[in-house]
Chains A and B, each alone.
Chain A
């Protein structure tokens, strides 16, 4: 079952490659078609998990472990629990949406959609792999299509952004590789099975735990990205085509926090407790720094990119609060909520850019009168992003603050709350400058309203943002048992 999440997009990629280069619409629909089964399946898995497996923290839908490379104990081993299931659904949803949003790509269509499907396969793989070797492979496999997607279809500085992204992430990965090898050789009998290593991890000597933890942390922190490892993110986001930005913000950033929740946190409980203050501190720095830098941005896309740094900072703050189930659950909520909201914001920025060919905030003004529907949707997601009650961002941030207030240094959390105010400041300033004020008819009179395809791409994101905001209970119940278990693992 989980395998088909990986292999259907791969099959779709091969199918796309077999199509003639000029059959553009056939390529587009094939790609979207290949992303529908994983989408349906991931939602069905979420439902199935909610109904039948949510009461236990055990892995569901397990496949394997099958021997793959017996000489080095590499196994093909997949499974999903309360951490991965919602992220699978998010990946499935954003993949299909991004593919639909990519219909505007006219240049080298075949390569674009082939790389996109490879990317989807890699992302799904990361969230279901339970063998370290397999995890590492999927983790790295994603880099290649991402490199091409930014490098070929990106903006003016695409080459720089693409290689910077590739090198940064690879730099992080090598630390992970060393840590994996050290864990492999210290485990008896040698294993790469994550589940077994989580069980035995707390028995590792103190220094070894710290070293492995730091190595994994570097790899994951670059992906999140945690300040000061974030500098690849604005470049990659600004240069990437719209749909790739959506995936980057919506899914790739989550892999960092997913890796922490899946691997480093339960595997090295001693190290996590040892570093918890510093992790939270990095989170708070990211929140404040990201928000302040967002305020100073002139480019709409860069503003959203830096707001991602700030929002992922909330996740790090929550991850610092290791003893609080509420904070860790809030972290999961924030991951999903950020995926929905920021994904939508990037889509909407792309909609405007396609028409105006600029993203500079200062040149717009009063667009609300000309493009009421577009403005309405954009304002909706801006409000969601700044944490308006009733939308998913509020729920997640609230949970994080409540949870970490009890578990962490209160001054630190107090400073983090300021981030909400700053978030409101840069979002409202953007809304004000772009949609309110005087409308320049001679310059922007030709702008057309958001079209149906574009509305269809953001509509599901609106629905889920509202759903989680108004009725978060099902999602909470889905993850509750896994989160409880995680916190007990970290308390070892």
Chain B
């Protein structure tokens, strides 16, 4: 069936099988590969995207469910004048090693900062608890999200 998804602000109309998962729609039809397929079983959060601003696991949603809705991927964070403060903060604070979980972590961070511009360490840990990182031990991810919040508050 034909669906239109607003992907990072641009309307994408494609024919899909109803069983197409949103993550595959984004990667193959949208040709945006920043959204990763990790566990593929709703456990790891590597496929996190924002659906109308709310973080969800795109491996556990059908593309047809996103028809008419706005999806933001990590590529959508980038600003005209350069990196999003979260992207800059992940770089600055060494919030990634292999980078596989990073898009999900940044999108969850973006949604958190939208609701709570100055989260505590506990707030951040709670928010990212559906996203798994196997490299960093989370310390620097937490630091990066809080640093981005501080940066966004002053800019």
Binding partners A and B: no
